[in-house]
Amino acid sequence: MGIHRQLCFLASLVLAIHAGPILKPADKNKAIDYLRKFYNLEDLMSTSHFRPEEELDPPSDKLKEMQKFFGLKVTGTLNKETLEVMKKPRCGVPDVAAYSTFEGKPKWQKNKLTYRIVNYTPDMSKAEVDRSIKKALQVWANVTPLRFTRINKGTADIMISFATKEPFNSIQCTTIQYF
């Protein structure tokens, strides 16, 4: 019987090591709140196939989407690395835009787009902002058929505006919003 006990102990040890840490309910709630705010979790929860008891664990498809966005190992499970990213201070703009395939126009119907800088951040000079935005748009132009032209008046395809709002007013959370 000694060998049997040793094997059971070894199996238990292996399972305990591979099972990983048990998450606190507060961590699961944090993850659900995070996914609601930044990954349109409400859309999923409002569908008929969502069952309230599933709310105890964040939906794996939304976790996978978030993990992929942040370059984490895509597991669909709430692990330590994913939770650490969720706990970091961040801006309030969702990582994923909420749009429907049938409402609005989720894709531009043209390749030549205009952009306008509506206002500037006090954290950078106007020249730095202009250069940074031009450089960022050039990255997109280099890998897509999109071409960007700046306009100074009127409504552009991309309206860039700087704003302050908690937690925006920390130095790490100055953001550019595209409308």
All CATH 3.40.390.10 domain ranges of the chain, comma separated, are 98-178
pLDDT of residue 177: 40
Tokens of 10: 């070894």
95 assigned to a ligand binding site: no
Residue 178's SS3 state is strand
| Distance set, CA 3 to CA 81, 90, 133, 144 (Å) | 38, 53, 67, 63
Q: Output phi, psi for 96, to 5 deg.
A: -125, 125
**What does the pLDDT look like over 94-112, one tens digit per residue?**
666 554 444 555 566 788 9
91 is in an annotated binding site: yes
pLDDT at 164: 72
How far is C-alpha 179 from the geometric centre of its chain's CA atoms? 17
What torsion do the CA atoms of 21, 27, 32, 37 make, to the nearest 10 degrees? -130
> Which residue stretches of the chain have pLDDT < 50?
44-56, 99-102, 168-179
pLDDT at position 9: 61
User: What pLDDT was estimated at residue 92?
Assistant: 66
Please report the pLDDT score of residue 57 as a whole number: 66
CA–CA distance, 150 with 115 (Å, rounded to integer): 5
**8 is known to lie in a ligand binding site:** no
Other Cβ atoms less than 10 A from the Cβ of 59: the count is 19
| Predicted local confidence at residue 132, as pLDDT | 94
Read off the tokens for 138: 């050039």
Contacts of residue 162, Cβ cutoff 8 Å, sequence gap at least 6: 119, 120, 121, 174, 175, 176, 177
Q: Which CATH number fits domain 25-43+53-87: 3.10.450.50, 1.10.101.10, 3.10.20.30, 3.30.300.180?
A: 1.10.101.10
Fold designation for 98-178: Collagenase (Catalytic Domain) (3.40.390)
